[in-house]
Amino acid sequence: TSESITDDQKHRQRDVIHTVGPVARGNCDERLKRQLRNCYETSLKLLEAQGLKSIAFPCISTGIYGFPQDDAAEIAVSTVKDWLADKQALVDRIIFCVFLESDLKIYQEKMLHHFPIDEEDLHENSPSTKKYRNKESSQKSDDKIE
């Protein structure tokens, strides 16, 4: 795997980190798991090195490369959790982008396992949801052109 970072002139994002995951073809041995984990770790290192505050990850290698969805999601979420243990203050947001309903269900399960939350936090008007929304709205107002 290799990673690089480029300026993104076409989209609102400032930079794009490129990574290429392993070709699994339905297999999931330890070597492939290490390679996929390395994709996430190296991307997070680039995020840190560039001083970026957010990152969005697709389901790396699960499409045409055939990495099993459940194993890939476990690697993605656990790798991010491990990184956040020491680096949480460096980042505002990490997003997992899913395109399939099956991926959504798997990621929800993995997220709840690795990042357990109280029942209250699931509700629309919980304090943590309000805090997040307030932060979002203030960021959006800063982005407006006058």
| Percent of residues, the chain, with pLDDT higher than 70 | 72
pTM for this one?
0.75
CATH of the domain at 20: 3.40.220.10
- CA distances in angstroms from 116 to 27, 89, 121, listed in the order given: 29, 19, 10
Distance CA 49, CA 123 (A): 36
pLDDT tens-digit series, residues 46-83: 999 999 999 999 999 999 999 999 999 999 999 999 99
**Is residue 17, in this structure, part of any structural domain at all?**
yes
**Any domain includes 130:** no
Helix, coil or strand: residue 106: helix
pLDDT tens-digit map of 38-54: 999 999 999 999 999 99
- Domain residues for 91? 3-115
* Residue 140 located in a structural domain: no
